[in-house]
Structure 1
Amino acid sequence: MSARSWLRRTYIERDRRERALREAMLAAGPACADTDAALFTAPDVFEPEPVAVRQDREAAAKKICAACPARTACLAYALAIRPTEGVWAGLSATEIRALSLYRPASEPGREVA
């Protein structure tokens, strides 16, 4: 198999997995579906958001996520897409990136000393 075909297959598989995770999240009935999306996302790049305003917005979004029936599916989707902005499953994009870096030692294929 050539590197080009391997890369193409890898991208297709990743896209298929992300699409399935997104569909599962939406099927679970996310609480954010009926709220203003701006609460869960950062403002436009050209509109700076003061730190205190961002913290208040994220706290309000996280409160909605706390009782969301789609929270687990949303987290799985967020870990797959690794968002750079917004609140997903009650976590900020920074918190999701931190989770993405963590790999348990018991993960299959990893050597444990």
Structure 2
Amino acid sequence: MNSLRRAYLKRREQLRKAMFAAGPACTGADADLFTAPDVFEPEPDSVRQDREAAAKRICSTCPARSQCLAYALDIRPSEGVWAGLSVGEIRALSLWPVADHVEQEVA
């Protein structure tokens, strides 16, 4: 593993640890609320919007929101709600196109 890759993975781990150390409000919450419940069954838009709105309400009071956003911007998730933002909203904040990113993580 080259040094650039090691530094990248170390930074990602530091961001993840900082997020969890801040005490995220989603800890203990239903994980399906923050991601689609079943990837093999399509989720109707109205159901997804309601689920994401509920997740965003939890995020709105989260003490780890800024750390979660930093982590999400780094990992570029392919789905879910992170720091009170949908994947589309996170992509809009990102400076790099999604196609340029090597690894993606799911919430």
Could you state the TM-score of these two structures normalised by the residue count of structure 2? 0.85
Is the 1:84–1:94 Cα contact (8 Å) retained in structure 2? no
Rounded Cα–Cα distance in structure 2 between residues aligned with 1:9 and 1:54: 40
Rounded Cα–Cα distance in structure 2 between residues aligned with 1:42 and 1:93: 12
The equivalent position to 2:85 in structure 1, one of 82, 91, 97, is 91
The equivalent position to 2:24 in structure 1, one of 3, 23, 30, is 30
Aligned to 1:71: 65
For the pair shown, which has the larger CA radius of gyration, 1 or 2?
1
- Specify the code of the residue in structure 1 equivalent to 2:56: K
Rounded Cα–Cα distance in structure 1 between residues aligned with 2:84 and 2:30: 16
Aligned to 1:41: 35
Unaligned runs of 5+ in 1: 103-113
Is the 1:18–1:80 Cα contact (8 Å) retained in structure 2? yes
Q: Does 1:100 align with 2:94?
A: yes
CA RMSD of aligned residues (A): 1.3
Is the 1:85–1:92 Cα contact (8 Å) retained in structure 2? yes
Q: Does 1:16 align with 2:44?
A: no
1:47 shift after superposition: 1.1
Q: How many residues align?
A: 96
Please, which moves more after superposition, 9-18 or 68-77?
A: 9-18
Please, which moves more after superposition, 68-77 or 8-17?
A: 8-17
- Specify the code of the residue in structure 1 equivalent to 2:34: F
The equivalent position to 2:52 in structure 1, one of 53, 58, 63, is 58
Rounded Cα–Cα distance in structure 1 between residues aligned with 2:4 and 2:89: 26
Could you state the TM-score of these two structures normalised by the residue count of structure 1? 0.81
- Specify the code of the residue in structure 1 equivalent to 2:57: K
Rounded Cα–Cα distance in structure 1 between residues aligned with 2:79 and 2:6: 24
Q: Once the two structures are aligned, what percentage of the paired residues are identical?
A: 68
